Amino acid sequence: MKKPLELRRVFFRWEFFLLVLLFLEILLFGTLNPRFLRPQVLLGSINDFLSICIISMFVTFVLITGGIDIQAASIVGLSSVMVGILWQQAGMNIWLACLCAILAGMACGLLSGFLVAYIKVQAMVVTLGGSFFYAGVAVTLTKIANVEAYRGISGFPQSFTAFSSLRISGVPFQFIIFAVLVVISSILLHRTKYGRYVFLCGINPTAAEYSGINSRLVIMSTYMLTGMSAALAGIILTSYLGTAKADFGRELTLPIITAVVLGGTSILGGRGTVIGTALAALVIGIMRFGLSMVGIYPQYQDIPVGILLIIAVGIRGLASGFSVSAFSKRFRLPVVNRTQ
């Protein structure tokens, strides 16, 4: 009896639905354009949306605590510019410049997290302000360094740009980075005491405090993780494109939030999974990539993504929230007692 029950739990999990949806997408776009099914094309497509995948996994932590982070996209551009300026203008080693950019991204997240957790400013207000502020700082840095914004900073060393085209046994290195981060973030959220604290802070912050958990520190740390992931995404994007620009990431905010919500994370906090977010990010990325391969212009690609999000969230809401007793109480209908 246990095996059928366990199989039923697997088949009715939201992650299984996303996995089936991903398979159907690949099948559909492969039928419309056979080139889509080539392993090199399919695996290489992650280069176009790796930033969404990386950042959305850690934004999941923030939403589980009941917050929101819409500044991560601006940190992508800021970290990209910092790498370029520190390497080109300051003469710093490229890898040391990358480390400084990651530390700067963490500092940006810590600042916003401090304002949210300790000063009790609304997360939407803080991160919206941070989005404008960090984007402005990135543009200002390019002006101070006498860099033309539309050209950016280029000419990076071969050692820095090479790893974006590196393949291990035919698998792109970016895909390996994504897989490793999925494992790390999933273990951190679902297999550690810190992850349990994150969930408890989203379910009941007051109970977390009475349990001896420093909920403010936990909440602040989730924003730090998001800032770190955004900086890492900015570095990888700079390596892949071979140039550093302040406007990198400006269009990523909505896809990131969409991936987190589509992955099953509740915007009210207390519920979510890294695997769900990772699969949702792949669903969105593969959909946009497939649409481009069948000739759909980029400005129209958000339409099916939006429709998918509305339908998927609606289905999940009906599946998890509907019950006869709740419906009866809402509309004061009698409930038939089948035991009589």
Question: Rounded mean pLDDT of 79-103?
Answer: 93
Instruction: Summarize pLDDT for 261-276 with one digit per residue, the tens.
Output: 999 998 888 999 999 9
Task: Assess if residue 93 is contained within a domain.
Answer: yes
> Which pairs with CB-CB distance under 8 Å and at least 24 residues apart come from 8-15?
14/263, 14/264, 14/276, 14/316, 15/264, 15/273, 15/275, 15/276, 15/279
Task: Assess if residue 318 is contained within a domain.
Answer: no
Task: Assess if residue 9 is contained within a domain.
Answer: no
The whole-number pLDDT of residue 208 equals 87
The whole-number pLDDT of residue 70 equals 94
* Range(s) of the domain holding residue 54: 47-272
Taking the model in full, what pTM does it have? Answer: 0.88
Instruction: Summarize pLDDT for 287-309 with one digit per residue, the tens.
Output: 989 998 888 888 888 888 888 87
Tokens for 246, please give them: 């302040």
Instruction: Summarize pLDDT for 129-175 with one digit per residue, the tens.
Output: 999 999 999 999 998 888 877 788 888 999 898 877 788 887 888 88
Task: Assess if residue 140 is contained within a domain.
Answer: yes
Task: Assess if residue 12 is contained within a domain.
Answer: no
Percent of the chain with pLDDT over 70: 90
pLDDT confidence band for 76 (50 / 70 / 90): very high
Task: Assess if residue 157 is contained within a domain.
Answer: yes
The whole-number pLDDT of residue 336 equals 45
Tokens for 323, please give them: 């019950």
Q: Where are the alpha helices (DSSP H) in the chain?
A: 2-11, 14-32, 39-44, 50-64, 72-88, 94-117, 123-144, 158-162, 173-190, 193-203, 205-210, 215-241, 253-262, 274-293, 302-321, 324-331
Within 10 Å of residue 78's Cβ, how many Cβ atoms? Answer: 29
Confidence check: pLDDT of 45 > 80 = yes
148-152, 233-237, 315-319: the lowest-pLDDT one: 315-319
The whole-number pLDDT of residue 12 equals 57
Task: Assess if residue 122 is contained within a domain.
Answer: yes
Number of domains in the chain: 1
pLDDT confidence band for 3 (50 / 70 / 90): low
The whole-number pLDDT of residue 200 equals 94
Task: Assess if residue 236 is contained within a domain.
Answer: yes
